[in-house]
Amino acid sequence: MELPGFPVYLQLSEKEFKNRIEKLYRILNACTLCGHKCEVNRHYNRGICNSGMNLKISSVFPHFGEERPLVGTHGSGTIFLSNCNCKCVFCQNFGISHLGEGDMISEEEIASKMIYLQDIGCHNINWVSPTHFAPQLVKALFIAREKGLRTPVVYNTGGYDSPGLIKILAGIIDIYMPDIKYGNNKNAFKYSGVKNYWDIVRVSVKEMYSQVGDLIVDDFGIAKRGLIIRHLVLPNDIAGSSEVLKFIADEISKDSYVNIMKQYTPYFKASNYKELMLGITMQEYLRVLNRAKELGLTRAN
């Protein structure tokens, strides 16, 4: 299937691409890339994400454990960034996301890694937790485009991106894959240390949807463009799943591709919270799936 203007970043003029990079780097002088709005100058200081100016990554590999439309036959070309702006107490990647394990890398080097992932046949370039490094990644994408990158980018985020950041990414990203972790601000703060999460994620996901629409796949089921939403069901309805699904059905689209995830495991500091100590029950999971059906979501599974 031919999708006009695919990947979308190929359509951006050199001048406009450079203009976006400049805008993004300017934000780093008083960083407001995400909802924390630390306003630190990233040249000299670090905010809650503990990241400076240099990109830091943990791994680059073809991932076969992502959603089926991303994995296809050759995998999703994953670039796992170190550090994170969310501080989930149950984080399964806490070494990378909380402790910052990984290596510094230049924009030029990461551009070459994107080309490598394309060369080995990956169906997309999957930036995992990109928010705090969005300027550097977009600059790397510009360099990779010059070197012949023609593979769509997946912006795979925890959903705590400032809406202003997402607006600047219009015409650069083909596939947005945000988590919607919680359906209320209170639990988001208590368990992930993020203020006003529910307010911010709703505006950002609406902006993502306005740019790319519902997920489009080709004849082989491979994602070409659109929105994929992830929602991890937490025990004792800590995630506010019903509110999350209602928002998607009422304010995004009933045809949204939604991955309702049941693999919650009490990693990291979860054992400090008795309500998070155990995994979810099958009944809890089925209740969320049924709610999605009741709300008329056609691609939730």
Looking at residue 237, the DSSP 8-state letter turns out to be G
Tell the smallest beta-carbon distance from residue 195 to ligand SF4 (Å): 11
The 8 Å CB, 24+ separation contacts for 266-270 are 266/90, 267/90, 267/91, 267/92, 267/94, 268/88, 268/89, 268/90, 268/91, 268/92, 268/94, 268/98, 269/89, 269/90, 270/89, 270/90
Token pair of 227, please? 């929105």
| Residue at shortest CB range from ligand SF4 | 47
Report the residue number, 164 or 279, with the smaller CB distance to ligand SF4.
Answer: 164
| Contact flag: residue 37 with ligand SF4 (CB under 6 A) | yes
| Contact flag: residue 40 with ligand SF4 (CB under 6 A) | yes
| Contact flag: residue 63 with ligand SF4 (CB under 6 A) | no
Between strands 125-128 and 103-105, the pairing is unpaired
Report the residue number, 101 or 284, with the smaller CB distance to ligand SF4.
Answer: 101
Q: Among residue numbers 120 through 149, which ones bind ligand SF4 (CB under 6 A)?
A: 131-132
| Contact flag: residue 276 with ligand SF4 (CB under 6 A) | no
| Contact flag: residue 56 with ligand SF4 (CB under 6 A) | no
- How far is CA 21 from each of CA 97, 140, 150, 191, 298, rounded to the nearest angstrom? 25, 10, 19, 33, 37
| Contact flag: residue 93 with ligand SF4 (CB under 6 A) | no
Phi (first) and psi of residue 21, to 5 degrees: -60, -45
Tell the smallest beta-carbon distance from residue 128 to ligand SF4 (Å): 15
**Which residues here bind ligand SF4, judged by CB under 6 A?**
31-34, 36-38, 40, 47-49, 51, 85, 131-132
